[in-house]
Chains A and B, each alone.
Chain A
Amino acid sequence: MKKAGLSILLVSLLAACASQKPKEAPTAEAAQPAAAAAPQAAVVADPLNDPNSTLAKRSVYYPFDVSVVQDADKPLLQAHAKYLSEHPDRKVRLEGNCDERGSTEYNIGLGQRRADGVKKVLVLDGANASQLTTISYGEEKPKATGHNEDSWKQNRRTDLNYSAN
């Protein structure tokens, strides 16, 4: 049912993008389960796409030179782990990032440890390791580029990057 809902949502999203090539929309596949499902199924939207859902938050943050998931972020990761366990076909890339106060190479190590730390928590909370990949961008892809704590605190993070299904 949930899968059907998701498919319908995708179809309608694709349909909404009128400029996209309509032939590539997976209509044949999606149409059948959609037709079989009750029309209300479409309302059961993927919570991942709900801007008001906890799952809309896709980043966890760290103090300087720390790679352990902070207590404040644990409920968020629990929610993502639950979602992943309920959607075993979903995959996430965990992307570790650092501020610029280190060497580029140390930060590759630190970013990797941040991403791996998030992976560990997600698996403990019910996600399957096969749904998760990790990558470190070190300090190479900062969200904010200032030489100040305002920028640095945005850059010390792990992003949960769901791949398009």
Chain B
Amino acid sequence: MKGILMLRCLVMLALFGVSLPSYATLTIEITGAGENQIPVAIVPFAGEEKLPQSISGIVSADLARTGLFRLVDPAGKAPHEPRDVVYTDWAGVDALAIGSVVEQINGRIAVKFRLLDMVKQTELDAESVSAPGAQLRAIAHRIADMIYEKLTGDPGVFSTRIAYVNRQGKNYRLVVADSDGYGEQTVLSRNEPLLSPAWSPDGSHLAYVSFEQGGAVIYVQSLLTNQRLLLAHFDGSNSAPAWSPDGKQLAIVLTRDGSSQIYLIHPDGTGLRRISFSGAIDTEPSFSPDGQYILFTSDQGGTPQIYRMAVDGSGLSERLTFDDGNNFSPRYSPDGKSFTYTHLENGRFYIATQDFATGQAQLLTDGGWEKRPSFAPNGKIILFATEDQGRGILSTVSSDGRVKQKMFPQSGDIREPTWGPFLKQ
């Protein structure tokens, strides 16, 4: 009971942006670089040496992982206020981040941060926050998000979260963590397979598949209260949940009427309605950002390929992949202009994208056991599961394929990752 309460507290804290010390820190390995790296210097914040973790260190690690920035060593220069900055000291640096942190009473910290444009010699952004010290990592991620957005024009995703399954022997843990792998929290632990976690659009719930009752059934679980609802437990298999963008329904896959087909259902389990009628295996639905279409995997043409259909129930579907291999697990990009998927050819799985306008497909990875891609909510990074020396690990690739990252868990095999949405602050 205490354990459950503790977990609820953890999940609750997690939702309010608190990063607790992680008990399963990942090791991260980055390869590749963006085409034009932006030179940035992050000066250690005044007073941060008294904190358990350095804010500038977390910000630097966040930015470095994207491959889009070249982090310039401040080389001992340590301005903390704009008036201390000698612009001529920073030749070749486009942007400079400076700041300070003061420990307050009740364990709170006050953080000041400024981002300076070193070419125009102006202030690009600034923030001043006071928050519990436990939110140190969250504050640093927010600063990194601000820097990323100012310098690239796209919103940062350092404050977002990911979900995945960690398998250790027969034990399966459904885990939610920060996008850098820290702050791992177990949402559910079972000695039967768990798979296919799917975030509700507001990040408050996860739908997932569990085998705890024998066959595959779907649960929806609140990350706020930890309460869960058995959403679908019809005859046969119940799987592949995907939320509509408005959060008012889920697409799920049932075999109760024969082969795997796609149905819609409300998050409270009412209003079940079948929307695919192929008689083949139709699975892995993914809603378009406007909610009008569903991408899915189907073998109606003989091999598993990606199809698209309208949600209106007209029943018409259109095949999107035609190459030699098999294609699985489609997910729309956040702007709806492309999708990512898993491509299987000659025994190797690759992460690929296809552009809707041109029909052009691009393999983003070198091939191996790369499965289940999902876009970060800014569309710039794709998270997927892969294997390294027999271990299941997390990996990311930038959506242009240039920058890759491997994240090694301390223990267990990672499977079934999925990137969560932006959280409203």
Given contacts A65-B304, A136-B215, are A103 and B237 in contact (CB under 8 A)?
Answer: no
19 more CB-based (< 8 A) A-B contacts, given A106-B283, A137-B193, A140-B193: A65-B304, A65-B326, A103-B284, A103-B328, A104-B196, A104-B371, A104-B416, A105-B239, A105-B240, A105-B284, A105-B297, A105-B328, A106-B281, A113-B259, A113-B281, A116-B255, A135-B215, A138-B216, A141-B193
CB-based contact A65/B297 at 8 Å: no
Contacts of B403 in A (CB 8 A): none
B236 CB within 8 Å of chain A:
yes
A sample of 12 cross-chain residue pairs with beta-carbon separation below 8 angstroms, ordered by A number, consists of A105-B196, A106-B297, A108-B239, A108-B240, A111-B237, A112-B236, A112-B255, A112-B259, A112-B260, A116-B236, A136-B216, A136-B255
CB-based contact B369/A147 at 8 Å: yes
The interface bits of chain A over 87-117 (1 if a CB of B lies within 8 angstroms of the residue's CB, else 0) are 0000000000000111111101111110010
CB-based contact A109/B281 at 8 Å: yes
CB-based contact A103/B329 at 8 Å: yes
Q: Which residues of A contact B (CB under 8 A)?
A: 65, 100-106, 108-113, 116, 134-138, 140-141, 147
CB-based contact A105/B258 at 8 Å: no
**Which residues of chain B in 178-215 are interfacial with respect to chain A, using CB atoms and an 8 Å cutoff?**
193, 195-196, 209, 211, 214-215
A109 to B216 CA separation, bound complex (whole angstroms): 11
B301 CB within 8 Å of chain A:
no
CB-based contact A108/B328 at 8 Å: no
CB-based contact B236/A134 at 8 Å: yes
Name the residue on A nearest B194 (C-beta).
A140
CB-based contact B216/A65 at 8 Å: no
**Which residues of chain B in 8-60 are interfacial with respect to chain A, using CB atoms and an 8 Å cutoff?**
none
Name the residue on A nearest B195 (C-beta).
A104
A104 to B253 CA separation, bound complex (whole angstroms): 13
The listed residue (B239, B240, B304) touching A102 by CB distance below 8 A is B304
The listed residue (B215, B258, B297) touching A103 by CB distance below 8 A is B297
Given contacts A103-B297, A104-B196, A136-B215, are A109 and B237 in contact (CB under 8 A)?
Answer: yes
Contacts of B372 in A (CB 8 A): 103-104
**Which residues of chain B in 323-357 are interfacial with respect to chain A, using CB atoms and an 8 Å cutoff?**
326, 328-329, 342, 344, 347
Contacts of A102 in B (CB 8 A): 304, 326, 328, 344
Most chain B CB inside 10 Å of its own CB: which residue of A100, A116, A140, A141: A140
Contacts of A103 in B (CB 8 A): 284, 297, 304, 328-329, 342, 371-372
A105 to B415 CA separation, bound complex (whole angstroms): 13
A101 to B240 CA separation, bound complex (whole angstroms): 17
Contacts of B258 in A (CB 8 A): 116
Given contacts A102-B326, A104-B196, A109-B253, are A136 and B283 in contact (CB under 8 A)?
Answer: no
B168 CB within 8 Å of chain A:
no
Contacts of B237 in A (CB 8 A): 108-109, 111-112, 135-136
Contacts of B281 in A (CB 8 A): 106, 109-110, 113
A103 to B347 CA separation, bound complex (whole angstroms): 13
B152 CB within 8 Å of chain A:
no
Nearest-neighbour CB distance to chain A for B391, whole angstroms, equals 13
A143 to B215 CA separation, bound complex (whole angstroms): 17
Contacts of B369 in A (CB 8 A): 100, 147
CB-based contact B253/A105 at 8 Å: yes
A72 to B260 CA separation, bound complex (whole angstroms): 26
Nearest-neighbour CB distance to chain A for B237, whole angstroms, equals 5
Name the residue on B nearest A134 (C-beta).
B236
Contacts of A100 in B (CB 8 A): 369
Nearest-neighbour CB distance to chain A for B307, whole angstroms, equals 13
Contacts of B255 in A (CB 8 A): 109, 112, 116, 136
B303 CB within 8 Å of chain A:
yes
The interface bits of chain B over 269-296 (1 if a CB of A lies within 8 angstroms of the residue's CB, else 0) are 0000000000001011000000000000
A104 to B385 CA separation, bound complex (whole angstroms): 12
A147 to B297 CA separation, bound complex (whole angstroms): 23
A138 to B416 CA separation, bound complex (whole angstroms): 14
CB-based contact B236/A106 at 8 Å: no
The listed residue (A106, A116, A134, A135) touching B328 by CB distance below 8 A is A106
A113 to B237 CA separation, bound complex (whole angstroms): 10
A134 to B216 CA separation, bound complex (whole angstroms): 11
Name the residue on A nearest B349 (C-beta).
A101
CB-based contact B304/A106 at 8 Å: yes
CB-based contact A140/B195 at 8 Å: yes
Contacts of A104 in B (CB 8 A): 195-196, 371-372, 415-416
